[in-house]
Amino acid sequence: MGALLIIFALLALQGCAGTSPPASGPPIPLKEANLEAVFEQNEGLEMVPEDAKELRDFYRLGVQQKAQAEKLFQEKSYPEAMKLYRSSNESFSTIFRYLGQDSAEYTLFEGTHILFFPNLLVADNELKMGLILQARGKESPARRCWKRSLASVQKSLQAERTEWGLSLQEKLISLVPSKNK
Amino acid sequence: MNVPVLLDKNGKVGRLFGLWAHPTTYLIDRQGMVRYRSMGFVDWSGLEATSVIDRLLQGG
């Protein structure tokens, strides 16, 4: 009986992991879901890779690494920014082994929700990495980054339609030539 | 024993600590570094908790 219950539970989980229908309705406004808001929700105690144990830790770590990368990107410290964008994506990749969907109302615990956008954050990291590579004259690797970015944006929009994601998508479509889409 | 209790009414402290489960306990050392985190209820008189505290006290 115990074994049957476990099998049933596993089947139910598999069912949840299937592809969900695309999110519809008006997109979530940029003022509600945006990069700055994500950074703000994850500032404070610094997460170090050695201490990350739970999925929430890896999300926090990925966001904090991205926040540092953004600062370096603005300062045009491209090699350092590139390294942090990669680390950030590695942190998010741990999440994707278990959770794949973005959510504007991810429940941490009762009454507390956060913006949970690992796909969109990965997409933004890839976009910026592509821009760095392009600035170095590496057009082909840059395009590969943008194509990966576009795939991540579309995954995000599938789960949660946001103005943030749509604007990123628009930017990427303008960067990736149509023959390579 | 009298101990100060912080009431985090708007959840700001919890957010800054990256709290995502109740209850969560953090042990902070003299330098203000978080040395231990435990999610869920802890038996503070149990072997595991006292071992952690002993180890942390020995280390710093």
Any domain includes A63: yes
Classify residue A84: in a domain, yes or no: yes
In a domain, residue A45? The reply is yes
Which chain B positions have a beta carbon within 8 Å of A56's beta carbon?
A: 18, 20
Confidence of residue A44 (pLDDT cuts 50, 70, 90): very high
Q: What is the pTM of this model?
A: 0.83
Query: What amino acid is encoded at A95 in this protein?
Result: I
Q: Is residue A12 part of a domain?
A: no
Between A13 and A38, where is the model more confident?
A38
pLDDT score for A2: 47
Report the distance separating Cα A153 and Cα A75, nearest Å.
26
Which pLDDT score, from 0 to 100, does residue A18 have? 41
Q: How far apart are CA A147 and CA A141, in angstroms?
A: 10
pLDDT for res A161: 97
Contacts of residue A43 in chain B, CB cutoff 8 Å?
A: 16
Whole-number pLDDT of residue A76:
96
Distance of CA B42 to the CA centre of its chain: 10
Closest residue in chain B to residue A113, using alpha carbons only: B20
Give the tens place of pLDDT for each residue, A70-109: 999 999 999 999 999 999 999 999 999 999 899 999 988 7
Q: Which domain, by its residues, includes A76? A: 29-180
Distance from CA of A40 to the nearest CA of B (A): 9
Binary contact (A108, B19; C-beta < 8 A): yes
Residue A6 lies in a domain: no
Output the pLDDT for position A37: 97
Residue B48: its pLDDT value, please? Answer: 85
Span A6-34, pLDDT tens digits:
433 333 333 334 445 566 789 999 999 99
Q: Looking at chain B, which residue has its C-alpha nearest residue A44? A: B16
Mutate to test the interface with A, among B10, B20, B38 (most CBs of A within 10 A): B20
Contact (CB<8Å) B18/A109? no
The low-confidence residues of chain B, meaning pLDDT below 50, are: none
Residue A167 belongs to a domain:
yes
Q: Is residue A89 part of a domain?
A: yes
Structure tokens given for A21? 């229908």
Per-residue pLDDT reduced to its tens digit, A154-180:
999 999 999 999 999 999 999 987 654
Domain tally for chain A? 1
- Find the helix or strand (DSSP H, E) in which B25 lies: strand B24-28
Question: Cα angle vertex A43, ends A29, A93, to 5°?
Answer: 75
Residues of B in contact with A65 (CB under 8 A): none
Higher pLDDT residue, B15 or A131?
A131
Distance of alpha carbon A119 from the chain centroid: 3
CATH of the domain at A168: 1.25.40.10
- ipTM passes above 0.90: no
CA A3 to chain centre: 36
